[in-house]
Structure 1
Amino acid sequence: MSAPLAPIRLPANQPTQFYRGGAAIAALRSASSGDTTDLAREFGPEDWVASTTTLFGRDTEGLTRLPDGRWLRDAVEADPVGWLGRDHVEAFGSSTALLVKLLDAGQRLPVHFHPDDEFARRHFDSHFGKTEAWIVVGTQGPSPTVYAGFREALDPRTVADWVADQDAPSMLNALNAVPVEPGDTVHVPAGLPHAIGEGVFVVELQQPTDFSLTLEWRDFLGDEAKGHLGLGFDTALKALDTSAWDEQRLAGLIRRTATVDTAVVDLLVPGSRPFFRADRLRPTTPLALDPSFTVLVVSGGHGRLKTARGDSYDVSTGDTWVVPHAAGELELDGDVTVIRCRPPAVRG
């Protein structure tokens, strides 16, 4: 008989990216310089946690490998009900419906956007587009900033001209600049043009794809086709939201939680709920956690995660864990801060 499914502590999983970063991830995980190569330090800005998603066009790069040597993707495929729960499987099949990343922007990311479900289904034969959300867990520099949504409505032809000319200043200046600090969260709907500024470290939740349509490709990707993922920009730009995001509308994407001091804090705006859920957990007494496929990121402190079977796991700063649904109800205790990431709720 196989062992019952239980929480699993995961190592770092940092596929090579086109931009710099990763020092904040290494610091969180307490990695020494001897544990990473120069390439990983320079181009390891993303840690794909509990990933069943590959980089665009790749076979296995980006996938999480479990301590027993299996890809997490294969383990879930072999026992989707155990990993995900019956209600989830009825709604999403064997997909986890979630990708979680640690993302440390060592330089400003390019202006880009992502397709919605309908566009992804039509052009990429995918059930999922790529709505995402950022939970800011650290910042460096004098003015940490993210960029989201055009400040004024734009004619699509104007944007197409910027892309053809690779007019990066016009693209960036057209976006809302949003100062951020740890505890801030930003919901990023599919289609919304956006970028993350240098020195911003986030836990990112997203739909489980790697569909990034990059307007500002020249100084980052070096290849126009990588910007439009082979679609051509005439097609790709049809997925772009060129509407105006004024201050009031933009506020509907942002939540400021740094001063909220309860044991459980819902981190994301209501618009995120059809796509994923995220809570900050700071138990003052033992905190019961419902059964669910869950990714846990321990952002500070030390605590214990206990199962109903009586198993106990130490959790500490920098740990990342994947929890199968079949692990059952858990109890979290200790002087610890944990970000709990889950797929969208489904009705039984």
Structure 2
Amino acid sequence: MDAYPLRLTAMPRPLVFGGHEIARRLGKAGLQDWAVAETWEVSDVEGQGATVTNGGLAGTSLRSLVRDHPEELVGPGWSGAFFPVLTKIIDASGTLPVHLHADDETAQRREGQVNGKTEAWHILAAAPGASALCGVREGVGRERLHEALLAQDFDAVLRRLPVRAGETFYVPGGTLHSFGPDTLVYEIEQTSDVQQHAMRWEMEDGADVPDEEWHANLDALLAEVRLDPRPEPTPGLPVRLGDGVQRVFYCAGPYFALERCQAGTAAPLRRNFRTAQVLTNVGAPVEVRTPAGVETLGRAETLLLPAALREVELTGPADVLVGYLPDLERDVVAPLLEAGYSRALVATLGEGVAPDAGAPLAG
């Protein structure tokens, strides 16, 4: 594989809860002048996959790169039918529908899918008083949940949590959730579009859902919901690397990890890696240096760095989100333990990290 930083098609989605904040607040260029709810920055979802737009691989689908060059693209020893990580920018100027994504076991059993969708939300901006619904309240069973969904009384059964810029929610598959209005989110998740909705309206155009279809949707949702996850927002664990240079670990689990890498003007940020890195710029334009050359990453733009590149340098000022499929012990636990954090604190970033050295890995 000709390894170099890959620019991909970023698909905008004009769903009813969207607005103009991805362009106005983040500065993303090239969007049409209509309300955009989401831009899919890196996607290998069936029927909605990205295509390379730069260099010698221009016109090549992400799916075909995964098929032909799995280890060079994703990482040594990796194999799979599609790229494992999906990333989005979400403008919840309105409120998202209350919905869930099945976990792996449920998606395989009920949806005929290879995997479900665990996700994480990194809050880029939120108005004062902004909130999210995330998880079922303790003590609420399926019958009580069904009654509340029929009444569309979500606050009676779901946890409402405040959201603030800089916080991150790790949301396991099967968790009922929603967020917005007035919230701008970077989302990283398993590659999947499996979902069940509780609303009486369609998120594509706001049209009414017929009664029979709505009741069937609720039945499917109740069959796939998990009552136990109760995610809490986390501020992240920062690791200082040098003068004005740091990486902040925001979430980590078996499916993805997310960091925010920042550098001032005194020194660049240097990063070595063994798995593909998804870089999304949430600051001013930044120079991205790799063994294949230099790329300028504009505002709210994304690069996919193939694993074969192995290293990257960001010249500050830089403020970049970095998502990847981790080896949890190597990529997350080891650097955080070295920085002085306990395993128990590292375990709060998501799932799959044993809270003490003698415990087996979960997930």
Q: Which category of TM-score, normalised to the shorter sequence, fits these structures?
A: 0.7 to 0.9
Residues 50-129 of structure 1 aligned to structure 2 (within 5 Å): 50-54=42-46, 60=47, 62-67=48-53, 68-89=58-79, 93-129=80-116
Q: 1:47 aligns with which of 39, 44, 64?
A: 39
Identify the match of residue 304 of structure 1 among 275, 287, 296.
Answer: 287
Determine the structure 2 residue equivalent to 1:237: 222
Superposed CA offset, 1:275-309 (max 9, x none): 21011101353322313211111101233211235
1:8 is the counterpart of 2:3 = no
> Normalized against structure 2, the TM-score is what?
0.78
The verdict on how the C-alpha distance between 1:232 and 1:112 changes in structure 2, with shifts beyond 3 A counting, is closer
- Answer with 206-215 or 146-155: which moved more: 146-155
Contact 1:87-1:347 within 8 A present in 2 as well: no
SS at match of 2:326: coil
Higher relative contact order (CA 8 A, sep 6+): 1
- Are 1:316 and 2:312 matched, yes or no? no
Superposed, which structure 2 residues align to 1:1-348 within 5 Å?
4-17=2-15, 19-28=16-25, 30=27, 36-37=31-32, 41-42=34-35, 44-54=36-46, 60=47, 62-67=48-53, 68-89=58-79, 93-140=80-127, 142-163=128-149, 165=150, 167-168=151-152, 170-218=153-201, 220=203, 222-223=208-209, 233-243=218-228, 245=230, 250=231, 253-257=232-236, 263-268=246-251, 272-284=252-264, 285-286=267-268, 287-309=270-292, 311-345=293-327
Structure 1 residues 328 and 46, CA, compared in 2 at 3 Å: closer, same or farther?
same
> What is residue 57 of structure 1 aligned with on the other side?
none
Q: What CA deviation, in whole Å up to 9, does each residue of 1:75-109 have, x standing for no partner? A: 322222221123222xxx24321111111102111
Distance 1:258 1:342 in 2: 17
Alpha-carbon contact 2:124-2:165 (below 8 Å) kept: yes
Instruction: Between 256-265 and 94-103, report the one with greater CA deviation.
Output: 256-265
1:267 aligns to what SS in structure 2?
Answer: strand
Which letter maps to 2:59? G
1:291–1:328 Cα contact (<8 Å) kept:
yes
- Percent identity, aligned pairs only, is 25
1:97-125 deviations in Å (ceiling 9; x for gaps): 11111111021111111111001111222
Contact kept, 8 Å, 2:172 with 2:229, in 1: the verdict is no
Gaps of 5+ in 1: 55-59
3-state SS of paired residue (1:76)? helix
> Aligned partners of 1:171, 1:327: CA distance in 2, in Å?
47
What one-letter code is carried by the residue in structure 2 that aligns with 1:13?
Answer: M
- 1:78 to 1:258, Cα distance in 2 relative to 1, 3 A: closer
- Rate the CA distance shift 1:235–1:178 in 2: closer, same or farther, 3 A: closer
Amino acid in the other structure paired with 1:45? A
- Alpha carbons 2:197, 2:217 under 8 Å: kept: no
Return the alpha-carbon distance in structure 1 between the equivalents of residues 238 and 112 of structure 2.
43
RMSD of aligned residue pairs (Cα, Å):
2.7
Change (3 A) 1:329 1:36: closer
Distance change (3 Å), C-alpha of 1:30 and 1:226:
farther
Post-superposition Cα deviations, 1:233-254, rounded to whole Å, max 9, x if no partner, equal 4344122123484xxxx4xx32
State how many pairs are aligned: 315
Residue 140 of structure 2: SS of its match in structure 1? coil
Counterpart residue type for residue 238 of structure 1: A
Relative to 1, partners in 2 of residues 1:21 and 1:259: Cα closer, same or farther, differing over 3 Å? farther
**Residue in 1 that maps onto 2:347:** none
Distance in 1, matches of 2:238 and 2:249, equals: 13
| Separation (CA, whole Å) in 2 of partners of 1:83 and 1:244 | 33
